[in-house]
Structure formats: C-alpha cells, structure tokens
Structure 1
Amino acid sequence: MEPMESTLDPAKASGSAAARTTAAPATAGQLTPRDVRIATWICFFAWTFAVYDFVLFGNLLPVLAAEVGWAPAQSTAVNTWVTAGTALVAFAVGPLVDRIGRRKGILISVVGAAIASLLTAVAGWAVGIVGGIGVVLLILVRSAAGLGYAEQSVNAAYLNELFAHAYADPAKARRRGLIYSLVQSGWPIGSVLAAASIYLLFPVGGWALCFVVAAFPAIFIVIAGRWLKESPQFEAHRHANTNGSPLAEAFRGESLRSTVVIGLSFLLNWVGVLVFAILGTSLLSAPDGKDIPFTNALVILVVSNATAFAGYVFHGWLGDRIGRRNTIAIGWILCGASFTAMLLAPSGDFAVVVALYSAGLFFLIGPFSALLFFNGESFPVRTRATGGSIINAGGQVGAIISSFLVTLALGAGWTWSTAAFWIGCVPIFASGLLILAARNVNPRTVRQD
C-alpha cells in the first residue's frame, strides 16, 4: 500500500479544503498523510481478520455437524438461519456507525466478531449437551459474528472519507480505487489464513481451538485503533448537529436511487455468487454438472483466491480510469458470459472448464472492490454507512434466496448445469445491466459532503 506516500501536503490541502468542505478546520488539519496510511493498513488487517473468522464457520460446519450428529438437511438449515442473522446484523451496523462514527464502528465490528468467535466454541459444545437450545445459541452467536461481515461496509465508508481529504487533487484522486482494492484483497488473504489455521490447529485441538485462536488478532486491532482518527467529513457532520434518522434518509432524496439500484444489483449478484463461488465445487464435480474430478481442496483454494486477488486489483485500477459504475457493469456482464461458456463447454474437459471458471471468478469477485468504494461515492456523509450496510446486507439476502432456489430446482429434477444457468448466470447478467441505472460518478471528482 505504498501509494499512500503520494497524499497531499497537509499545508497545501488545508487551504483548499476550507473552500470545498464544511469539515471543522482543526480536524482536517490534524489528519496527515501518515494518518491516512496508518488507517489504510489497519483497515486492511481488520478486514483480513474479520474474513478469517467469517469463513471459518463455513469451512468447519461439516466437521461440527458430524460431531453433533446433524443430517445434511439440519446442517443446511442452521447455515440458512445463520445467514439470515448475519444479514440483520449487517443491516443494523450502518445506522449505528452513522451516529457514533467510523472509527468506533471499525473497533466494534472487529471486537464483536472476536467475542462471537470465542463464544462459537462454547455454543458448539452446548449443541452436543443440550441439543435444541444449543442450536439456537449457536445461531445467535454466529449471527453476531456477522459484525465481521459488516466491517467491510464500515471500512468502505471510512476510507472513502479519508481518501476524499487526502486525495482532493483530481490528479491524485484517480488512485483511490486501486488503493482500496488492496484493502479489500483481505478477503482472499483471510480465506487462505483460515484454511491454513484449520490445517495446523484442527489436528491439535479440533474445531473449537480454531475459533478460539481466531479471536486473538482482534487484540492487535484494538491496540492499533488508538492511532485511528475519525474522518473529517463525519466530524463536520457531527459538529453541525444534523438531525434525522439515517435509515429513513437512506430511502429519501438522492440516497433513494443509490439504495434501491445498487442494493438490488448487489442482491442479484449474490444469487450468482452462491452458485459459482460457494457451491462451485458441487457444480464442477456433479455428474450432471461439469463432471470434473475437482475435489482437491488445495487446487480450488489456490485458483479461487488467486483469481479473487487479481480481480480486486484489476477492477480497482480500472474503476479509477473509466468510473466504478461502468467497471462493475462490464465485469459482471463478462462474468455471466464466462460462466455460460463454461456450462456449454464439454463436460470432463478439465483445462477448458477450469480456465473459464477462473475467468468467471475474476469478473465475479473483482468488481466488489469497485462496488464497495462506489457505495461511498453514491451517498452523502449522513447516510453513507447506512446505505452501505443496507447494500451489504442485501448480499446475504441474495444468498438465502439462491440457496432456496437451488434446493428447489435440484429437487424438481433440474440438472446442476441447468440450475446454474438460470439461478447463477441470469441473475449475474441482470446485476451487470441493473447497476447501469445507478448515478454515474466521475472518478476524478472527490465528494466532500
């Protein structure tokens, strides 16, 4: 994240910022390029550790299910309820952050996810002892762990506002998306760390130890949090004593269009994400799918996460040049085309299928780095975190809808390939087209309100 060295000279920025923003002069003057660099690194590690805990549950659920004697249907039901709880928590975080501030929101998200990780070990043991009550406790605890998932929307709002101050010069504003894409790359890095921790810790202390260890990185974030400074835009908003409900305002005025259009696009896209990114191995290995012996977890992990990292950086870079809305649309439309070609490719052809699968993931996952930063550009400061959290929660709603539709389709006798096209490719195509209805934002402009 070395590009942060090129932030504006505070002495030069302070004079021009006074004419462009209502931020309190003292606050804006205190935010130095070094502060922005530190905040960028802290947000990167906060997101990496949040993802680390978030993906652990999905990775370890089969082991937990086997230990407590759940049938596959029970395991799926628990995961569905956890996903619903995650959506509610992610939705609730935004209005809170628009009231208490971005800095506190980051710390609450990370610490809350860490506590939930510790309690997951306790809840898992309770399932084996008290049955149904333990299951309810586990669902509640893992829903609270949705604070980790919500952390990405808080990060996006916070860094968008810091970068607006540090990159007020239009020539330098074009680097914001690339830098944010490096922060968002904490997703594949956190996923790899989670897989590595399971490999190392599971033989020693089982699934419970993995969750206990996942809580410790939060200590680092809490300590590092003392160097985080609140964004000048939020401070200006707070000093202005602006009243109103962020949740209600997210559905009024200029925020309404962004909330509805981007939110529905995100939801539709996540319908496809579940099919190709989360259930991808089932599709690839099913005889009525692509009939590929793609059961090597390490190969899948390397392909998917390397593709995700490259996709984040590429789409972050491209968004700085042609605009984030256009980048998202192009990426998701090409994603739909790549996965459609994969489904039409001869079954069993490992090289062709994996190449098209990788291309699909590149264009599916990569645009999220542009999307999350685009959220911040699309909302005023008073609704920025709330709007972002509504959109973020929509992803989990899309996952629930997709899971239901896939189960229904396969139960009705559809093949995996047919289900993947109608429930995966079509919603992804639609999300790429729908996002074009969002308000376009010139990547050279910097929003100060």
Structure 2
Amino acid sequence: MVDRPGRGGGDTAGNSGRVPADAPAIDTNITNKTLIYSSVVCFLAWVFSVYDYTLFGALLPVISEEFGWSTSFGTFIVTLVAIGTILVALAVGPMLDYLGRKPSLVIATVGAAISSGLTALAPASIAGAYMTVVRTFSGLGYSEQAVNATYLNEMYGNHPRRGFIYSLVQGGWPIGVLLGAALSAVLLPAIGWRNTFLVATFPAIVIAVLAIKLRESPKFQAMKYVKKLEREGRHEEAVEFGRGFDIDVHHSEESTFKQLFEPDLRKHTIFISLAMLCNWVGIQVFAVLGTTVLTEGKGVEFSSSLIILVISNAAAYIGYLCHGFVGDRLGRRLTIAGGWLISSLAYTLMLFGPDSTAFVLTMYTVGLFFIIGPYAALLFFMGESFPTRVRGTGSSFVNAMGPAGAIVGSALFSLFTGLGLSVVLTAFLAGAVATFLSAFLMLGTRDVKGPHQSEVTDADSTVARVT
C-alpha cells in the first residue's frame, strides 16, 4: 500500500490515509459546467422518454381502430404492457449498480428510441402480442427517472440547492406529456400514427449520443473498486478505501435485491415502496381517470380534454419546482408527506363539496399540485436515502411500484363501480384514501437529510454515519 493525496470535491470526505497501490485515480472535482451538461442531458432524456411512454396511451384509440381492437381488448393490452414495464424497471436497478450510472442512462434512452421505432413497424396479423412485447421496452424510458435520480444525486453531492435543481430535471414529465400531445395533434393527421412514433425515435438517439460524453459518477467508480476488493477477499482495504468516499461496504458482496431487505434497510424499503404504490393508486384515479371522475362524478362539462391536460401538467410543473425548493429547506420526507396529505384533503373536498365548476376545478388543481409536485422531492429522496452500494436497485425497485399502483388503482375503480358504488364514493375510497395512506407511510421511511447520512452504520462495516 502507498500513501496518496486526498481526494476532494463532490460529496466525498477525501481519503487521506493509506490506500491500496492499485487503487484507481478518481477525480471528484465536478465543475459547474459538468453539472449543467449532466442536468441538461438528463432533462432531455427524460422529456423524450416521457414522450414515448405516454404516446401509446394517447394514440391507443387510433391504433385500436386500425387493428380492430375493442375498447376492452385495448385496455387489456395496456395492462399487459404495464406488467412488462414493472419487470423492466426492476431489471434497471441491478444494471445501475453493476454496470454503472452513465451506461444505464444511455441504455434507458436507447430503449425509449427502440420502443418508438419498433411500435411503428407493428404487423396487423400479430399486433396484440407484438405490441405487448415491444411496448415493454418503454419501461426503460419510464425508468429514466430512477436512473436520473441515482446519477444526479451523486453528481450534485452537497450542493445546497440540489433538490431544487433536480426538480427542474424532473419537470420534464409534464413537458414530455404536453410535447407528445402537441406533436400528435399536428403530426397524426399528416403522417399517421406509425410515423408519429418514428419521429420520436430520432431525438432519443441524439440524446443517447450526448449521454456518451457524460462523466461517470465518482461514487460509482469508487464503489466499483470496493466491490473488486471484496471479491478478492481484501475486506479491510475495501472498508478503508470506502471510508474515504463515505461508502458503506456492508453486505456489498450480496445481490443488490437481497441487500434491500437486510435488517438495516428492510423497514425503509418496505415503507417507501408501499408509499409509492399507494400514491400511484391515487394518481391513477385522479390524474389518469380524472376525466371520468370530473364528468360522471361531479357533472363537469369540458368542450375538450385539452383543458384537463393543460391544467394538470401546469400544476405538475409548478408543483415540482415548489416541492423541490421546499424539500431543500424542510427536508424531503416531510415535504412529500405534507404534500400528499394536503392532496388527499383537497380531493375529498372536491368530491363531497359543492358541484360548482369553479370550486371543483380549483380543488382538482390543488389536488394535482400536491400529489404530483412532491415527486421532484421523492425521486431525489429515493436516491438520497439508499446507500451507494444499492442506490440504483433501491431507486428502481421503488420506481417500479408506480405502474403496479396504477394497475391496482384501475382494478379498484372497476371493482367499486362494478359493485354499484357511485363514482364519487369510488374515487374517495380508491383514490383519496390511498393518497392519505401514502402520506403516513412516508413517515415510516428513513429521515435522511444529506448524502452522507445515506450510508448505513453497521458493526461490521466500521463506517460511521455522518450526522
């Protein structure tokens, strides 16, 4: 072993002690130019991933008409795709933790491009099965947010406004939704649905090329070397090297999925996963099925569904920025729980309050603001609350609970209405209660307020938690 200079910058503590002679030189000095480039590439990748992810649902009526699908069969295909999305999202986690943050970002972006391109080539003879398989690749695009959360969490380090900066990136969701809706409206009459998907392919390819020029996270580089030392049986060297980068090496020799349910992380994994699932039940009811709730439940008339689309996405974007800003100051866990609690109350008031259009739309917008906005804080908290050794798997596992919650939300809505309950009571039981529950589940998660605290203290690791 030889003495080496300390490593400064980023969110590392510097390793001023003795390190292995074969230790890689890891540059932790991340410039503002690098941060800006990383943030812009991640933002663009997320925008076009969302564009692809939501485009299939937006064009489903046109696709169903060409292939002769009934409404129920089209919905069945969407459900199968959602299940495939969950499986792909789960696979992205180990990819992040074993292959790397940067390669995973490139793969996720390319996956969105492949999903769009292959969708355009769907053969009529086997359209149902083909679409189920091909659209499963859109799960890579959906997983882009977990990739971004993992990568940017490590790149931002201790930046005092890291949550707010990340909210600008996460704001790509409403922009991607609106971009997809706008381009569909313009392109569909002129070039048809197939070419509309093809158009989505080219920007994603360009972004994937830009992503190749990104820097790999210093944290991942250090973790990769720590795992190498562990494989070689050099545990004490791994612990010492990891300490210099605030990396907990405990359980690092185990599979990343198994680590999520070890005693030191089990409670956090369960509570944050259930919170995500329950909240997506609420999102499915009030955002995805919102038109049904408003028109059939509250008697609101819209001349165009575009009004709902614009309201919801404007509320989401502003909500992202506000919750990102507040999360930096009050803590992300409380910000998320508080937002979802307010959302559940707003939706309850909307459902059981006056049928006045102004009142209903006001409460609906407030509800959307506080149910969707906290996701800027949640996605960053997902990356912040899991230790480096399992950060990608943890973020992706929780992220996969989103489509699972959407499936549960649709099932509950169908079940309650099928039992004869009114749309108002159904939306309350399936949506508002689930959203309320998600807020309290968040309080069961780890109270992590900074990147150093994410590393788990354990008697075997000798890595002290920085508090």
Question: What is the CA–CA distance in structure 2 between the aligned matches of 1:174 and 1:15, rounded to whole Å?
Answer: 12
Q: Residue deviations 1:371-399, cap 9 Å, x none?
A: 11111111111110101111011111111
Contact 2:112 2:137 in 1 (8 A): yes
Determine if contact 2:8/2:14 at 8 Å carries over to the other structure: no
Q: Counterparts of 1:229-240 in structure 2 under 5 Å?
A: 229-240=215-226
Count of residue correspondences: 424
Please say which of residues 420-429 and 218-227 is displaced more in the overlay: 218-227
CA distance in 2, matches of 1:219, 1:178: 28
1:359 aligns with 2:370: no
1:3 matched to which residue of 2? none
Cα distance in 2 for partners of 1:30, 1:100 equals: 22
Aligned to 1:430: 437
Code of the aligned partner of 1:43: C
1:32, distance to aligned residue in structure 2 (A): 2.7
Query: How far does residue 25 in structure 1 lie from its aligned partner after superposition?
Result: 7.4
- Residues in 1 aligned to 2:80 and 2:96: alpha-carbon distance in whole angstroms: 25
The aligned amino acid for 1:87 is I
Match of 1:426, SS state, is helix
- For the 8 Å contact 2:119–2:131, the answer to whether it is kept is yes
AA aligned to 2:89 is A
5+ long unaligned stretches in structure 1: 1-9, 168-172
Pair 371,16 (structure 1): closer, same or farther in 2 beyond 3 Å:
closer
Of the candidates 351, 354, 378, which is equivalent to residue 371 of structure 1?
378
Q: What is the aligned partner in structure 2 of residue 199 from structure 1? A: 185
TM-fit CA distance, 1:105: 0.3
Q: Which amino acid aligns with 1:364?
A: I
- The answer to whether residue 231 in structure 2 is matched with residue 246 in structure 1 is no
The AA in structure 2 aligned to 1:209 is: N
Alpha-carbon separation, structure 2, partners of 1:152 and 1:308 = 15
Out of 369, 378, 388, the residue aligned to residue 381 of structure 1 is: 388
* Residue pair 2:8, 2:28 contacting (<8 A) in 1 also: no
Please give the residue correspondences for 1:43-54 in structure 2 after superposition, counting only pairs within 5 Å.
43-54=42-53
CA displacement 1:203-262 (0-9 Å, x = unmatched): 111111111101111122122123201101100000112533111111114332221110
Determine if contact 1:281/1:295 at 8 Å carries over to the other structure. no
State the alpha-carbon separation in 2 of the partners of residues 352 and 378 from structure 1: 38
Seen in structure 2, the aligned counterparts of structure 1 residues 206 and 20 have a Cα distance that, compared at 3 Å, is: farther
Residue aligning to 1:412: 419
Aligned to 2:286: 276
Corresponding residue for 2:274? 264
After the TM superposition, which residues 124-135 of structure 1 pair with which residues of structure 2 at under 5 Å, given as runs? 126=123, 128=124, 130=125, 133-135=126-128
Q: Which residue number corresponds to residue 240 of structure 2?
A: none
Equivalent residue number for residue 13 of structure 1: 9
The 2-side partners of 1:319 and 1:30 are apart by 25
> Could you tell me whether the CA contact under 8 Å between 2:278 and 2:438 is conserved in 1?
yes
* CA distance, structure 1, for counterparts of residue 260 and residue 451 of structure 2: 25
Shift of 1:19: 4.6
Which amino acid counterpart does residue 221 of structure 1 have in structure 2?
A: I
Q: Which stretches in structure 2 are left out of the alignment for 5+ residues?
A: 1-5, 231-252, 457-467
CA drift of 1:15 comes to 11
1:182 matched residue in structure 2? 168
1:390-410: CA deviation from partner (whole Å, max 9, x where unpaired): 101111111111111111111
Moved more, 24-33 or 395-404: 24-33
Mark the CA change 1:312 to 1:295 in structure 2 (over 3 Å): closer, same or farther.
same
1:29 deviates by 4.0
- Cα contact 1:174–1:444 (8 A) shared by 2: no
CA 1:108/1:77 → structure 2, altered by over 3 Å: closer, same or farther? same
Shift of 1:12: 6.8
* Structure 2 contact 386–455 (Cα < 8 Å) conserved: no
**Paired position in structure 2 for 1:332:** 340
Partner Cα distance (2:129, 2:218) in 1:
42
Alpha-carbon distance in structure 1 between the residues aligned to 2:303 and 2:328 = 38
Shift of 1:304: 0.7
1:57 and 2:56 are equivalent in the alignment: yes
1:75-154 alignment runs, 5 A limit: 75-123=74-122, 126=123, 128=124, 130=125, 133-154=126-147
Residues of 2 paired with 1:261 and 1:161: CA distance?
A: 23
Distance of 1:366 and 1:90 partners within structure 2: 22
Task: Specify which of 397, 409, 414 is matched with residue 402 of structure 1.
Answer: 409
Give the letter for the 2:217 counterpart: S
- Contact 1:233/1:448 (<8 A) preserved: no
Rounded to whole Å, the distance in 2 between the matches of 1:409 and 1:200 is 38
- Partners of 1:238 and 1:15 lie apart in 2 by 17
For 1:412 and 1:330, how far apart are their aligned partners in 2?
A: 33
With over 3 angstroms needed to count, the CA separation of the structure-2 counterparts of 1:415 and 1:233, relative to structure 1, is: same
Report what 2:154 is aligned to.
161
Assess if the C-alpha contact under 8 Å between 1:98 and 1:383 holds in 2: yes
The structure carrying a bigger helix percent of its residues is 1
The change in CA–CA distance for 1:41 and 1:77 in structure 2 (over 3 A counts) is same
> Could you tell me which residue of structure 2 aligns to residue 391 of structure 1?
398
Instruction: State the AA in 1 paired with 2:410.
Output: S
Paired residue secondary structure (1:263)? helix
Would the alpha carbon gap of residues 15 and 394 (structure 1) be closer, same or farther in structure 2, given more than 3 Å must change?
closer
TM-score (norm: length of structure 1):
0.90
Spell out, residue by residue over 1:98-118, the C-alpha distance to the aligned partner (whole angstroms, 9 max, x if none).
Answer: 100000000000101111111
- Preserved CA contact (<8 Å) 1:255 1:383: no
Deviation string 1:279-330 (CA, Å, 9 cap, x unpaired) is: 10111111xx011002412211211111000100000011101100000100
Check whether the contact 1:113–1:147 (CA below 8 A) recurs between aligned residues.
Answer: yes
State percent identity of aligned pairs: 46
Whether the aligned pair in 1 keeps the contact of 2:7 and 2:16 (CA below 8 Å) is no
State the superposition RMSD in angstroms. Answer: 2.2
CA deviation string 1:338-396 (max 9, x = no partner)? 0000001222x211111100000000000011111111111111110101111011111
Q: Larger C-alpha radius of gyration, 1 or 2?
A: 2
SS in structure 2 of the partner of residue 238 of structure 1: helix
